[in-house]
């Protein structure tokens, strides 16, 4: 199958014609008489990348918080499974169709198809939304192309690996009026601990917020090339399409989701997302100054809040030896009258009484969601803004990426969060974007 070529409208239409011609079998129960949503009410989806993360979303996994994954939902119809690895692709198609076969023992059901090239998935007019869980350097480009193709998008973190790429993804999602959900599920899951912490901070329970410890450094991508003869490409792996926008190099025995990543690129957006959420208004802006000091990036906002890209120096949060804050996915908020620390396991405060008084009707509230996947699907139906929409996802990714630039340059950088450029620093501004390998220069 062809895996390269300019993504023209002609190519999209050609691929679409093939998809429309595929056999489609619909059971009698599909009219909705069995209590299930009718076809018109089901959201049709394509899954692009079905390794550990993508497979978890599709079938159910520790981070998807939905038994059986998307395929188990009666309000979703999975039509496409796409992966450059044949074994993952075929496994995905078989598991999806086996599931639908069990639900429809008569043998009449809408079957999913497998694809190597994600452009063929985007070309199908019968697909409403895609879930992107590919290598990280694909995220921004695929988001842009999916938005242009009229698809709603759930994209794993990071939103992009360069700020210019992330801005282009944001602009495409807004221009084509697509629903976007970033894969920073801490705003929806974990019993609402992160939401509660942010509402307490915004409500002044720790006084005036002075600083936030993000518990992780910044992160980015460093494209590298391997020279020499390389190793034989495994049978069933489309290596050229796997590399995609990355510089071409021989296969070196590695092909994983975080290839070329450095620093906190894997977990970073989770942390910086909840950093931004607690700072009122930060979901639409960013810091005004960034620098690197004592092995950590530091960020100053216009309101004076300083963010430290590291752990809080006292893991007990001042509460003694029986308390230890791990910081998995979380951060520590420090105010004039107290401290709140939250991660995936716990929320603690000093003084502890901060957590004892319930929030009142006049206290601050943030977006409420108890299911990240459910919130995405509901917004696909209603066209409302998701809890991790493209703007907040872009800003959280930008914060992480700004920290990596500061670490590379080791000097104070003035940042304009409106223009989203460094002030009087051409070298730093050149690091906001990169040149992707053709034909993937869609940014």
Mean pLDDT, 10 residues at a time, over the chain (443 residues)? 39 41 38 57 96 92 80 95 97 95 80 97 98 97 98 98 98 98 96 98 98 97 78 94 94 86 94 96 95 96 97 96 93 98 97 95 96 96 98 98 97 97 97 95 86
Residues, the chain, total?
A: 443
Residue 34 is predicted with a pLDDT of 52
Is position 440 within any domain?
A: no
Is position 338 within any domain?
A: yes
Residue 283 is predicted with a pLDDT of 93
Is position 212 within any domain?
A: yes
Is position 11 within any domain?
A: no
Residue 286: which of 197, 415, 411 has the closest Cα? 415
- Helices (DSSP H) in 104-153: which residue ranges? 118-122, 139-148
Residue 232 is predicted with a pLDDT of 92
Is position 121 within any domain?
A: no
**Predicted TM-score of the model (pTM):** 0.90
The CATH number of the domain where 196 resides is what?
3.30.360
Residue 19 is predicted with a pLDDT of 39
In DSSP terms, which residues pair with 123 in a beta bridge? none
The token pair that represents 287 in the structure block: 């810091």
342 Cβ partners below 8 Å, 6+ apart? Answer: 193, 194, 196, 197, 274, 330, 331, 348
Spatial distance between the Cα atoms of 132 and 151, rounded to a whole number of angstroms: 11
Is position 185 within any domain?
A: no
Q: Which domain holds residue 398?
A: 190-219+265-362+391-430
Is position 205 within any domain?
A: yes
Is position 211 within any domain?
A: yes
Residue 212: which of 311, 96, 103, 324 has the closest Cα? 311
Residue 259 is predicted with a pLDDT of 87
Q: Count how many domains the chain has.
A: 1
């Amino acid at each position: 199958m062809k895996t390269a070529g300019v993504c023209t409208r002609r190519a999209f239409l050609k691929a679409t014609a093939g998809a429309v011609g595929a056999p489609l079998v619909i059971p009698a129960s599909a009219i909705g008489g069995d209590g299930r949503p009718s076809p018109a009410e089901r959201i049709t989806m394509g899954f692009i990348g079905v390794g550990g993360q993508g497979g978890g979303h599709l079938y159910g996994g520790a981070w998807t918080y939905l038994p059986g994954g998307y395929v188990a939902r009666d309000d979703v119809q999975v039509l496409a499974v796409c992966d450059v690895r044949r074994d993952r692709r075929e496994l995905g198609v078989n598991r999806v169709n086996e599931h639908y076969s069990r639900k429809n023992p008569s043998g009449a059901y809408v079957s999913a198809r497998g694809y190597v090239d994600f452009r063929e998935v985007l070309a199908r007019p019968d697909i409403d939304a895609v879930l992107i869980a590919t290598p990280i350097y694909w995220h921004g480009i695929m988001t842009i192309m999916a938005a242009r193709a009229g698809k709603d998008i759930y994209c794993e973190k990071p939103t992009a690996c360069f700020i210019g790429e992330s801005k282009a993804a944001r602009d495409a999602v807004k221009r084509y009026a697509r629903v976007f959900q970033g894969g920073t599920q801490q705003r929806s899951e974990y019993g609402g601990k992160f939401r509660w912490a942010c509402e307490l901070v915004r409500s002044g329970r720790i006084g005036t917020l002075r600083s936030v410890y993000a518990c992780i450094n910044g992160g980015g991508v460093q494209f590298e090339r391997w020279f020499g003869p390389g190793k034989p490409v495994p049978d069933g792996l489309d290596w050229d399409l796997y590399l995609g926008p990355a510089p071409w190099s021989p296969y070196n025995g590695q092909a994983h989701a975080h290839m070329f990543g450095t620093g906190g690129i894997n977990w970073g957006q989770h942390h910086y997302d909840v950093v931004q959420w607690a700072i009122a208004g930060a979901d639409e802006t960013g810091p005004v100054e960034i620098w690197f000091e004592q092995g950590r990036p530091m960020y100053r906002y216009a309101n004076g809040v300083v963010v430290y890209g590291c752990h809080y120096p006292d893991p007990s949060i001042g509460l003694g030896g029986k308390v230890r804050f791990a910081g998995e996915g979380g951060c520590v908020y420090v105010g004039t009258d107290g401290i709140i620390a939250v991660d995936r396991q716990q929320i603690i405060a000093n003084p502890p009484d901060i957590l004892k008084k319930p929030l009142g009707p006049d206290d601050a509230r943030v977006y409420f969601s108890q299911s990240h996947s459910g919130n995405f699907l509901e917004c696909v139906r209603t066209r409302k803004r998701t809890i991790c929409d493209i703007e907040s996802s872009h800003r959280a990714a930008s914060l992480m990426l700004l920290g990596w630039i500061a670490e590379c340059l080791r000097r104070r950088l003035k940042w304009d969060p409106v223009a989203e450029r460094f002030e009087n620093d051409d070298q730093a501004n050149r690091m906001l974007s990169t040149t992707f390998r053709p034909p993937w220069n869609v940014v």
